[in-house]
Amino acid sequence: MLFDMPTLVNYSGDDELYPGSSFGPMDLGRLYTIGSNVDVYYPPNKRARISAPFIFNNHEHEKDQKPSVDTLPDECLFEIFRRLPSAKERSSCACVSKKWLMLMSSICKAEIERPASSDVEMVSSDEDQDGYLTRCLEGKKATDARLAAIAVGTSGRGGLGKLSIRGSNSVRGVTNLGLFAVAHGCPSLRSLSLWNVSSVGDEGLAEIAKGCHLLEKLDLCLSSSISNKGLIAIAEGCPNLTTLNIESCSKIGNEGLQAIARCCPKLQSISIKDCPLVGDHGVSSLLSSASELSRVKLQALNITDFSLAVVGHYGKAITNLVLCGLRNISERGFWVMGVAQGLQKLVSLTITSCRGVTDASIEALGKGCSNLKQMCLRKCCFVSDSGLIAFGKAAGSLESLQLEECNRVTQSGIIGALSNIKPKLKSLTLVKCMGIKDIDVEVSMLSPCKSLRSLTIQNCPGFSSASLAMVGKLCPQIQHVDLTGLYGITDAGLLPLLENCEAGLVKVNLTGCWNLTDSIVSALAKLHGGTLELLNLDGCWKITDASLVAIADNCLLLNDLDVSKCAITDAGVSILSHATQLSLQILSLSGCSDVSNKSVPFLKKLGQTLLGLNLQHCSSIGSSTIDLLVENLWRCDILS
């Protein structure tokens, strides 16, 4: 198999390798084979200096072949290569053959012999290793040869700082040998990500630990061949580690995490997901030892209440905490985490699918996390109105509350929470909360929540026009509204919200609200046209060109408009194009079957400001028309 070696070495990004002549008695030009495995590359404008011809496909050479430098033992080539004066010459040599590339990549920086003359100053700048470069290999491109080329090619051009390998070539994928090359040639490496690279094991990771002492971030996902042994090597060789992400690594357990806890005092972020061997001993060791740990994510682990007690007691530096799918943790674990009073710096807390989250536990969390600003509860089926109201009273600093699939929470709980956390609450998000239904409440008895700026209610079928009208009166300072999937709301229900918004709406998303008509869009444009910047009407099939007339006449700042699957025609597009005050940057007409080739001149005119245009599923627009628009609207990304 023939390799295009310069292409491999050049796989360090958009940059070019140093130009230069080849090394030794060979020209770089045409590809021909030495022996059975070594491939040599020649530039087409030079004549080969080796007079003896070669026979392809493993045939025998002619007997009068002249001696070649490749007949030297690897040890001799190694000594020659390490004495080359700069990265320029080493890059040129790496282009000669795969054998030379792999030999070159095996040379550590410390083994390179420096010139002792006036060239020292030049070489030191040539060998600068600050780790500026980032490289990513995915799928078929992920091979040992490419890693070797990256190691050689980046060594004299800023140094490799970040390497990501996702997947692997099924025939000749990345193995420990590839990581050996990186470890020897990239001492500046600070971030390494290995995703689904099953052929890399403890030996490769241990070599990284020996050669890349500056490593700060390690990301391992689906690394089935890496065990505690490899993680221990990283802990002992990379004391500057600040970020560790481990996901679905079946052989990594408590012993590896305990080594990280002992040897990596600078650890700031840890994420552990779906590792069956990780238990309380590993998690508690990390949390009790890493005094600078500020970001923690624990998902689908076999840990118990003990681990959360440690979090609550020792997590004095934690600012962001994510807990997901912890099935063995009870109400007591979350309650203790709150009452331990150690999470005083916690700003953001996300809890998903944890049965231990109850009314009593979230009240304790509200009391124990005095600086909590963002709270997100997903699929917490035992949280009800009383718990939410109690949490609202306790969490005096809360600015953002998000509830997803918390089906015991009703409208009474939401109103109670708004009333109790109103001093600072800026954002409220409700997603798929099936317990929320319209109820009769005397709004005059409730005090308004004037701090709320953003309201998102998505796919809550019980939340209809009556609830929306009440929210409008309770929250007069709303600027961002997202009502995606509320197919039950009508013009009459939405109008009070629009009329009570004193600050002026900036972003409005009405995706899937198919009962709304042109009347409400006209009211929205007239009431908030001076502030509105984004309007999404995707799927509102009763919206026609009349809405675009109101938008064109009243909206001064609108830059993002989505009327996908609406009853828009060429006439509507024409109206938009003639609106002198409009400066649309994003326009989506996806699924508007009545928009045809006749809209081309109008779209060209709109294209003076457009950066994005969506014409997908516009069946009346031909492919030739799309090609014409792509040619003319060169600044605009067009989806078709």
Please report how the helices 411-420 and 465-474 are oriented relative to each other, as an axis angle in degrees rounded to 10.
Answer: 10
* Amino acid at the residue 622: G
For residue 149, the model assigns a pLDDT of 80
Dig out the tokens for 262 from the structure: 């002992």
Dig out the tokens for 201 from the structure: 């094991």
User: CA of 400: how far to CAs of 57, 388, 395, 406, 461, in Å?
Assistant: 68, 13, 11, 16, 22
Q: What is the CA radius of gyration of the chain?
A: 32
**Separation of alpha carbons 48 and 26, rounded Å:** 7
Q: What tens digit of pLDDT does each residue of 584-629 get?
A: 999 999 999 999 999 999 999 999 999 999 999 999 999 999 999 9
Long-range contacts of 618-623 (CB under 8 A, 24+ apart): 618/589, 618/590, 618/591, 618/592, 618/593, 619/593, 620/593, 620/594, 620/595, 620/596, 621/595, 621/596, 621/597, 622/597
Q: How many helices (H) and strands (E) does the chain have?
A: 23, 22
Contact yes or no for 175/101 (Cβ under 8 A): no
What secondary structure letter does DSSP report for 227?
Answer: B
- Which of 395, 531, 551, 417 has its CA nearest to residue 474? 417
- Which of 414, 406, 344, 410 has its CA nearest to residue 381? 406
Residues 6+ apart with CB under 8 A from 562: 511, 535, 536, 537, 538, 586, 587, 588, 614
**Element holding 480 (H helix, E strand):** strand 480-482
Cα 298–chain centre separation: 18
Contact yes or no for 264/232 (Cβ under 8 A): no
Contact yes or no for 154/128 (Cβ under 8 A): no
Residue ranges of the chain with per-residue pLDDT less than 70: 1-75, 77-131, 154-158, 169-170, 422, 440-446
For residue 2, the model assigns a pLDDT of 42
Contact yes or no for 568/614 (Cβ under 8 A): no
Contact yes or no for 117/85 (Cβ under 8 A): no
**Separation of alpha carbons 476 and 446, rounded Å:** 13
User: What does the angle CA 25 – CA 31 – CA 36 come to, to the nearest 5 degrees?
Assistant: 85
Among left, alpha and beta (phi > 0; psi -120 to 50; other), residue 621 is beta
- Which of 520, 527, 584 has its CA nearest to residue 552? 584
Scanning the structure block, which residue is given the tokens 């050479």? 61
User: What does the angle CA 329 – CA 243 – CA 157 come to, to the nearest 5 degrees?
Assistant: 160
Residue 285: how many CB atoms within 10 A of its CB? Answer: 19
Residue 429: how many CB atoms within 10 A of its CB? Answer: 17
Residue 195: how many CB atoms within 10 A of its CB? Answer: 18
**Residue 231, CB-side half-sphere exposure with 13 Å CA sphere:** 28
User: CA of 132: how far to CAs of 160, 189, 191, 378, in Å?
Assistant: 6, 9, 11, 39
For residue 27, the model assigns a pLDDT of 38
**Separation of alpha carbons 503 and 617, rounded Å:** 37
For residue 113, the model assigns a pLDDT of 57
Under DSSP, is residue 455 helix (H, G, I), strand (E, B) or coil? strand
**Separation of alpha carbons 52 and 66, rounded Å:** 6
Residue 64: how many CB atoms within 10 A of its CB? Answer: 8
Under DSSP, is residue 161 helix (H, G, I), strand (E, B) or coil? strand
For residue 26, the model assigns a pLDDT of 38
- Which of 162, 172, 171, 170 has its CA nearest to residue 194? 162
Please report how the helices 74-81 and 98-105 are oriented relative to each other, as an axis angle in degrees rounded to 10.
Answer: 60
Scanning the structure block, which residue is given the tokens 């001064």? 556
Contact yes or no for 230/202 (Cβ under 8 A): yes
For residue 18, the model assigns a pLDDT of 36
